Amino acid sequence: MGVPAETASPPGAPQHVAIIMDGNGRWARQRGRPRTFGHRAGVEALRRTVEAAGDLGLRYLTVFGFSTENWTRPPDEVNALIDLLRLYVRMDLDRLEREGVRVRIIGDRAGLEPDILDIITRAESRTAANTKLFLTIAFNYGGQCEITRAARRLVADVAAGRIAPEAIDATAFAARLDTADIPDPDIVIRTSGEQRLSNFLLWQAAYAEFVFLETLWPDFGRADLEAALAEFRRRERRFGAVVS
């Protein structure tokens, strides 16, 4: 996926920002409301963040929308989380298409309801030509599941003679991940004060910078994103090497 020079990230800014959107339930509980109320508020925070990312000149934004582990939550909350994808696409797809945002959904699509698959196809196809901001939504996604699927693809390619076993390396493996044509994240932001990856982009985040914010996701906005980017610029990235 090429990055047009005229829309490259500003100097010192990360090319790819990934966000674990956490804290919807606590935000709702603080207000005496059900968790589903917090999830709906989280959609508004996502809308603000996508707009801010575009305004700040970011190239890639990946958000963790629904994990493979979320299926273990109570059925009403699972349904509410799934409804958020329906809600976001229905309310924002026209604007995203118009403003140059390319939408991509990664994760395991097996077993998803037909209308969700239709929403995914519609969002991806309608925005396929956009290049201003690449928005990736991880839906029914888990890093371990993604790595397992990539391993199966690699085994199938070896069995079919498309690749020799001795040609398998990190590059060949990464090419079979859901994020094959997306650069690895430079920074992973997690809201709500929790400090763990929760099975998000396990392979891709090997050398990402991590920024953990106390802000609950429904309260997240441009100022929080700018603060995280400022922290990123203060970091010295060595990628395992020694900087003299």
Query: Which domains are assigned to the chain?
Result: 12-142+184-234 (3.40.1180.10)
Rounded distance, CA 143 to CA 110, Å? 16
Q: Look at residue 77 and tell me whether its pLDDT is greater than 90.
A: no
Q: How much helix, strand and coil, in percent to the nearest 5, is found in the chain?
A: 45, 15, 40
pTM over 0.75: yes
Catalytic residues: 22, 70
**pLDDT at residue 158 greater than cutoff 60:** yes
pLDDT reading at 5 higher than 60: no
Provide the sign of the torsion angle of the four alpha carbons 93, 95, 98, 99, taken in this order.
negative
Mean pLDDT of 138-153: 96
Is the predicted pLDDT of residue 9 greater than 60, yes or no? no
Q: How confident is the model at residue 238 (pLDDT cuts 50, 70, 90)?
A: low
Mean pLDDT of 184-191: 98
pLDDT tens-place string over residues 26-74: 999 999 999 889 989 999 999 999 999 999 999 999 999 888 888 888 8
* Averaged pLDDT, 149-164: 96
Q: Is the Cβ–Cβ distance between 85 and 116 less than 8 Å?
A: yes
- Please, which pLDDT band fits residue 3 given cuts at 50, 70 and 90? very low
pLDDT in tens, 83-137: 888 888 888 999 999 999 999 999 999 888 898 999 999 999 999 999 999 999 9
Q: Which helix (H) or strand (E) holds 189?
A: strand 187-190
